[in-house]
C-alpha cells in the first residue's frame, strides 16, 4: 500500500497524485496539513529517504525565516519545526508499505517505488 502526504493546493503534489493514479496502485491520501505527522514519523521518513530533516524542509518558505531557522540547525530543531509547522515539509512524499519512500521533487521521482 502506498501513502501520499498530499497538499491539494500544491501543483507538484497533484502531479505526484496523478502518477499514483496512472500506475493503478492502491494508495491512501494523507493531507498532512490536516493530519500532521509526528516527530517519530518524520524521523522514520528521513531514514527511509536517507536524508537529513533539513533536506525535506521547504527552506524558502516565510515560516522558515519567521521561526528563526537556519540550514545549519540541528536535526532535532528542524524535526520539531516540521512537527509544529507542517507546511515546511517538502512535498509530495510517497511511502510504500512503510518500508520505502520517495520525495516527489520532481514528481517523477516516485516512479522508482513501483518496481
Q: What does the pLDDT read at residue 13?
A: 95
Q: What residues make up the domain containing 84?
A: 2-114
Q: What does the pLDDT read at residue 115?
A: 77
46 assigned to active site: no
Sign, Cα dihedral of 59, 18, 8, 84: negative
- The HSE-up count of residue 97 (CA atoms within 13 Å, CB side) is 4
Catalytic residue among 4, 6, 10, 36: 10
Q: Which pLDDT band holds residue 97 (cuts at 50, 70, 90)? A: very high
Number of domains in the chain: 1
Going by their DSSP bridges, the two strands 100-103 and 2-6 should be labelled as: unpaired
Q: What is the pLDDT of residues 14-33, one digit of tens each?
A: 999 999 999 999 999 999 99
Percent over 70 (pLDDT), the chain: 100
Q: Please tell me the distance from the alpha carbon of residue 100 to that of residue 113, in angstroms, as a whole number.
A: 7
For 74-112, what is the HEC assignment? CHHHHHHHHHHCHHHECCCEEEECCCEEEECCCHHHHHH
* pTM metric for this prediction: 0.92
CATH code of residue 59: 3.40.30.10
Q: Please tell me the distance from the alpha carbon of residue 19 to that of residue 81, in angstroms, as a whole number.
A: 29
Q: What is the pLDDT of residues 38-58, one digit of tens each?
A: 999 999 999 999 999 999 999
Amino acid at each position: 500500500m502506498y501513502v501520499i502526504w498530499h497538499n491539494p493546493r500544491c501543483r507538484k503534489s497533484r502531479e505526484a497524485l496523478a502518477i499514483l493514479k496512472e500506475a493503478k496502485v492502491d494508495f491512501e491520501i494523507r493531507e498532512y496539513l490536516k493530519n500532521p505527522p509526528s516527530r517519530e514519523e518524520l524521523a522514520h521518513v528521513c531514514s527511509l529517504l536517507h536524508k537529513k530533516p533539513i533536506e525535506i524542509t521547504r527552506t524558502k518558505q516565510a515560516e522558515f525565516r519567521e521561526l528563526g531557522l537556519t540550514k545549519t540547525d540541528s536535526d532535532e530543531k528542524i524535526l520539531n519545526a516540521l512537527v509544529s509547522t507542517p507546511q515546511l515539509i517538502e512535498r509530495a512524499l510517497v511511502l510504500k508499505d512503510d518500508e520505502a519512500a520517495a520525495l516527489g521533487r520532481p514528481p517523477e521521482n516516485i516512479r522508482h517505488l513501483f518496481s
